[in-house]
């Protein structure tokens, strides 16, 4: 009897971040890892003259540690396993930094026109010829459980690609590259509109007694989430990554066009009060397409006249219809602040009863028709005084759900969305731990020099909690990366005119207080914000101010790297003396009079103070405060602070009071 055995073919796989064009940290020990056959031997030959051997465990996982020399020419790295040879080409050695946060880190060098632009974008893109600056952009993903790989690829900073790079990260890398004359690699992992707790592990949050109900709900949701994923996978879907260069939100067939029809029956649809962000409704954190419909009655005197439909801002995209005919659209990312104003041709205005139908598409962050109540209205052209409000009850139906780069298409006839399997908490980019699991955990083996961070806007209103969770995140990352207290430099959020009743100053102060965490630094942006746009156009100064910290603290440059930071307060009768660190060559007033300082007495009521500079100390006084107890500076949403050091770096806002909310 003959017995034959078929041997399993040898294989080697690598995570996406270990790939052609990557940058490895120079002059240190790095890790290389991947999968192979169980118990297989792997030989790794690095082009700089190192060869090491390792072995996969019984699950096929393997890891190797190898020393890297100083930066030099590009190398290849060969991975060999029996008859399998895998080579990674064009590997550079240099300085590797992680760049993370929310939309102001995510914002690309080409901007999000027309509203969110980058200063000198076209010039910077046309002058980008830096083959030794490379960026690995982690594709967006979220998960209830830690993942082992991300999607993305290394790309060079040339004119064809650099426009898609994080602007802040690019300017940081460019400054380092031009000063150090070595390659710079950026791992960019950010997601707009996300809170800090999304970027922290469940174990760390639980140990700190933060978000305990959410973490418990996640544990319960994990098996149910799999049921939901299986259910979604049974639906028709559209994979975005297969569309080149990107999906067309008008021509792609979502199988929902009938929702614009006057004859379509929406009697069984649910209702929503508009305007509102749908995250605050029973829909919750939902990305995808939602149709809204409303029947309206207009006066007979409006018949056969051009009308104007105003919908206010929509997050993010819309297709808008009147009596089944398209009257307007905004189908590009980044238009979430743009108010929709559409003209309705008189040929459509032939009945007093009419249908308005709107498909809203959102693929990240908040979604919905979310403006003010007076934004929603319809009126005869050139006669807004006769406007009829459209705020109030609208019918709605989700028709496609977007997650993990796919649109899953619901059956509209049977309102399939409402049969969607339920979970106790939704996985989303805003859910605690979900971005850490999908966009940080898979990177933890990759050796980095340090991290830069731009986030905080989504935690405005929770400053006291942020003063705990932000340092917690830094500690979390450092522990899991096992690289010691690597440098962590962050951006203090810029001035912005938040809605009434919201003050971002305490959040900025929570960031300032986070400097107590060892080996951290803060780039102040009080002077380069845009109070009318949460995405300021000046990202060059932001990136370069972060680079100043790195050049001074990590690369030995003898430079002034920070603006003045509050040090201490001394009371002298009715005067307060405020001293600062990081005064550089001395304090400087940008203008003739120092502004934005306030003082308070025992009653805690702050009054504007007369402020002068004497021997690099700011002296404050106010006739209304005879016995001052506290001081603050630039402590509002949109301050016009003008205290700098002579090197031109702005002072941070601060308060001497403790954070209370």
CA distance 225 to 58: 29
Cis peptide preceding 114, ω within 30 of 0: yes
Output 125 or 7, whichever has higher pLDDT.
125
Q: Are 437 and 142 in contact (CB under 8 A)?
A: yes
Residue 576 has pLDDT above 70, yes or no: yes
Closest C-alpha among 548, 539, 550, 655 to residue 606: 655
Structure tokens at 390: 């459209």
pLDDT tens-digit series, residues 329-372 = 998 877 888 899 999 999 999 999 999 999 999 987 789 999 99
Confidence of residue 6 (pLDDT cuts 50, 70, 90): very low
Confidence of residue 314 (pLDDT cuts 50, 70, 90): very high
Predicted local distance difference test score (pLDDT) of residue 426: 86
Structure tokens at 130: 């830096």
Q: Which domains does the chain have, with CATH numbers?
A: 12-93 (2.60.40.10), 94-211+431-553 (3.40.50.1110), 233-419 (2.60.120.260), 565-655 (2.40.10)
In three-state secondary structure terms, 527 is: coil
CA distance 83 to 120: 52
CA angle 614, 615, 618 (to 5 degrees): 45
pLDDT tens-digit series, residues 370-405 = 999 999 999 999 999 999 999 999 999 999 999 878
CA distance 250 to 6: 52
* Average pLDDT taken over every residue of the chain: 94
Give me the residues paired with residue 403 across strands. Answer: 406
Which stretch of DSSP H or E encloses residue 121?
helix 121-126
Query: Using N-to-C axis directions, what is the helix angle for 167-180 and 540-553, rounded to 10°?
Result: 40
Confidence of residue 246 (pLDDT cuts 50, 70, 90): low
Predicted local distance difference test score (pLDDT) of residue 486: 98
Looking at 121-135, 234-248, 473-487, which range is the least confident one? 234-248
Confidence of residue 495 (pLDDT cuts 50, 70, 90): very high
CA distance 316 to 241: 19
Give 61-119 as a 3 state SS string. Answer: EEEEEEECCCCCCCEEEEEEECCEEEEEEEEEEEEEEEEEECHHHHCECCCECCCECCC
Confidence of residue 9 (pLDDT cuts 50, 70, 90): confident
Give the global pTM. 0.89
Residue 302 has pLDDT above 80, yes or no: yes
Report the pLDDT averaged over residues 204-232.
94
Structure tokens at 414: 């049977």
- Give DSSP secondary structure letters for 214-245: HHHHHHHHHHHHHHHHHHHHTS-EEEGGGSSS
Residue 3 has pLDDT above 80, yes or no: no
pLDDT tens-digit series, residues 164-181 = 999 999 999 999 999 999
What does residue 475 show for φ and ψ, rounded to 5 degrees? -60, -40
Confidence of residue 93 (pLDDT cuts 50, 70, 90): very high
């Amino acid at each position: 009897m003959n017995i034959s055995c078929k041997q399993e073919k040898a294989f080697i796989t690598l995570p996406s971040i270990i790939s052609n064009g990557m940058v490895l940290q120079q002059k240190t020990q790095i890790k290389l890892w991947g999968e192979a056959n169980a118990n297989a031997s792997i030989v790794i030959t690095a082009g700089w003259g190192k060869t090491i051997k390792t072995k996969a465990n019984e699950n096929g996982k393997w890891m190797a540690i190898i020393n890297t020399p100083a930066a030099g020419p590009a190398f290849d790295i060969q991975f060999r396993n029996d008859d399998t040879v895998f080579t990674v080409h064009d590997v550079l050695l240099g300085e590797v930094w992680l760049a993370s946060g929310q939309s102001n880190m995510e914002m690309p060098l080409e901007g999000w026109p027309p509203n969110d632009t980058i200063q000198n974008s076209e010039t910077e893109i046309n002058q980008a010829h830096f083959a030794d600056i490379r960026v690995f952009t982690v594709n967006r993903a979220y998960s209830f459980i830690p993942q082992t790989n991300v999607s993305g690829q290394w790309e060079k900073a040339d004119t064809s690609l650099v426009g898609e790079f994080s602007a802040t990260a690019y300017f940081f890398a460019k400054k380092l590259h031009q000063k150090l004359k070595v390659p710079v690699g950026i791992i960019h992992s950010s997601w707009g509109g996300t809170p800090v707790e999304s970027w922290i592990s469940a174990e760390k949050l639980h140990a700190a007694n933060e978000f305990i109900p959410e973490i418990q709900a996640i544990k319960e949701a994990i098996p149910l989430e799999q049921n939901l994923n299986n259910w979604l996978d049974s639906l028709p879907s559209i994979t975005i990554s297969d569309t080149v260069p990107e999906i067309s939100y008008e021509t792609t067939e979502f199988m929902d066009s009938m929702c614009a029809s006057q004859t379509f029956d929406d009697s069984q649809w649910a209702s929503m009060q508009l305007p509102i962000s749908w995250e605050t409704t029973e829909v919750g954190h939902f990305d995808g397409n939602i149709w809204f419909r409303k029947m309206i009655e207009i006066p007979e005197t409006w018949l056969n006249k051009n009308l104007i439909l105003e919908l206010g801002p929509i997050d993010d995209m819309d297709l808008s219809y009147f009596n089944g005919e398209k009257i307007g659209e905004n189908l590009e990312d980044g238009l979430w602040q743009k108010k929709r104003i559409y003209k309705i041709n008189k040929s459509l205005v032939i009945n007093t009863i009419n249908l308005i139908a709107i498909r809203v598409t959102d693929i990240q962050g908040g979604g919905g028709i979310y403006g003010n109540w007076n934004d929603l209205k319809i009126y005869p052209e050139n006669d807004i005084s006769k406007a009829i409000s459209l705020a109030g009850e609208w019918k709605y139906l989700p028709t496609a759900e977007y997650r993990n780069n796919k649109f899953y298409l619901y059956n509209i006839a049977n309102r399939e969305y409402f049969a969607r399997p339920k979970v106790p908490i939704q996985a989303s980019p805003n859910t605690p731990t979900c971005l850490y699991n999908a966009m940080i955990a898979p990177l933890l083996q990759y050796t980095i020099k340090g991290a830069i961070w731009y986030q905080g806007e989504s935690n405005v209103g929770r400053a006291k909690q942020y003063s705990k969770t932000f340092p917690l995140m830094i500690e979390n990352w450092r522990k899991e990366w096992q690289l010691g207290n690597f440098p962590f430099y962050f951006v203090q959020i810029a001035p912005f005119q938040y809605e009434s009743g919201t003050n971002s100053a305490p959040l900025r102060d929570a960031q300032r207080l986070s400097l107590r965490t060892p080996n951290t630094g803060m780039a102040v942006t009080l002077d380069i914000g845009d109070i009318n746009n949460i995405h300021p156009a000046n990202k060059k100064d932001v990136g370069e101010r972060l680079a100043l910290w790195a050049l001074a603290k990590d690369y030995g440059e003898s430079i002034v790297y920070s603006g003045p930071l509050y040090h201490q307060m001394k009371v002298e009768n009715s005067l307060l003396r405020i001293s600062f660190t990081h005064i550089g060559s001395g304090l400087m007033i940008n203008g003739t009079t120092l502004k934005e300082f306030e003082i308070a007495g025992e009653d805690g009521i702050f009054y504007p103070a007369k402020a002068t500079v004497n021997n690099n100390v700011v002296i404050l006084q106010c006739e209304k405060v005879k016995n001052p107890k506290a001081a603050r500076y630039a402590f509002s949403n949109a301050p016009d602070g003008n205290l700098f050091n002579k090197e031109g770096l702005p002072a941070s806002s601060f308060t001497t009071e403790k954070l209370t909310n």
